């Protein structure tokens, strides 16, 4: 490289990074370095190609096209990042929406449980009152029946006493006693 700078003709020569794949950078038709870009055909060309196959085409230096493409890619990357950000915001919105929905559902469940608990307690109270009323009626019925039974037993006792008296009288031979 030092030898290149010593020669007068090479002092203005621009150095480029050495390429590993130099054959891929050479024109297969003219065996010259591909340093131009044909916009018409969208291919890299050498200086000799511009005098033949690409004579009337729109040809620019490779670096110019490279810078343009790089700027375009930068713009595309910025757009992609913006789309990613928009989607992330949508995800956050959806997560917040789901969270709000869950909070609402939890509130509705709590309200529903409260209503049904109150309803259940009311039904249980009504059931207990019904059972108490039925038991009270049954107790009154049993007391009434016991009263009737006592009366009937009293009547049976009196009737037995009378029956005994009647039997004694019927067995009596004393006419006067029987008729009195």
Residue 10: predicted pLDDT: 47
The mean of the pLDDT values for the chain is 88
Q: How far apart are CA 6 and CA 71, in angstroms?
A: 37
Question: What is the value of pTM for the model shown?
Answer: 0.47
Low-confidence winner among 6-10, 32-36, 54-58, 102-106 (lowest mean pLDDT): 6-10
Q: How far apart are CA 38 and CA 51, in angstroms?
A: 12
Q: How far apart are CA 108 and CA 103, in angstroms?
A: 9
Structure-model confidence comparison of residues 77 and 17, the more confident one: 77
Strand-pairing partners, residue 45, are: 36
Structure-model confidence comparison of residues 175 and 169, the more confident one: 169
CA distances from 180 to 99, 158, 177 (A): 106, 20, 5
Instruction: Collect all residues with Cβ–Cβ distance below 8 Å to 3 and sequence separation of at least 6.
Output: none
Residue 18: predicted pLDDT: 55
What does the CA dihedral 114, 120, 125, 130 come to, rounded to 10 degrees? Answer: 160
Tokens 């340093």, located at residue: 35
Number of alpha carbons in the 13 Å side-chain half-sphere of residue 66? 7
**pLDDT > 50? residue 20:** yes
DSSP 60: E
**pLDDT > 90? residue 73:** yes
Residue 24: predicted pLDDT: 78
Q: How far apart are CA 146 and CA 90, in angstroms?
A: 82
**pLDDT > 80? residue 11:** no
Closest Cα to residue 56, out of 35, 34, 41?
41
Give the fold, CATH level 3, of 2-62. Double Stranded RNA Binding Domain (3.30.160)
Domain boundaries, the chain: 2-62, 74-136
CA distances from 37 to 27, 107, 112, 129 (A): 12, 67, 73, 99
Residue 171: predicted pLDDT: 79
């Amino acid at each position: 490289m030092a030898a290149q700078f010593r020669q007068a003709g090479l002092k203005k020569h621009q150095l480029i990074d050495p390429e590993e794949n130099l054959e891929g950078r050479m024109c297969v038709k003219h065996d010259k370095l591909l340093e131009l870009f044909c916009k018409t055909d969208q291919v890299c060309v050498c200086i000799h190609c511009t005098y033949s196959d690409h004579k009337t085409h729109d040809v620019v230096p490779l670096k110019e096209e490279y810078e343009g493409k790089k700027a375009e890619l930068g713009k595309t990357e910025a757009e992609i990042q913006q789309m990613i950000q928009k989607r992330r915001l949508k995800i956050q919105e959806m997560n917040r929406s789901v969270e709000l929905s869950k909070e609402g559902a939890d509130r509705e469940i709590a309200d529903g449980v409260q209503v049904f608990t109150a309803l259940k307690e009311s039904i249980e109270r009504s059931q207990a009152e019904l059972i108490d009323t039925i038991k009270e009626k049954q107790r009154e019925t049993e007391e009434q029946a016991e009263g009737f039974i006592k009366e009937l037993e009293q009547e049976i006792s009196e009737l037995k006493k009378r029956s005994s008296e009647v039997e004694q009288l019927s067995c009596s031979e004393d006419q006067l006693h029987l008729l009195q």
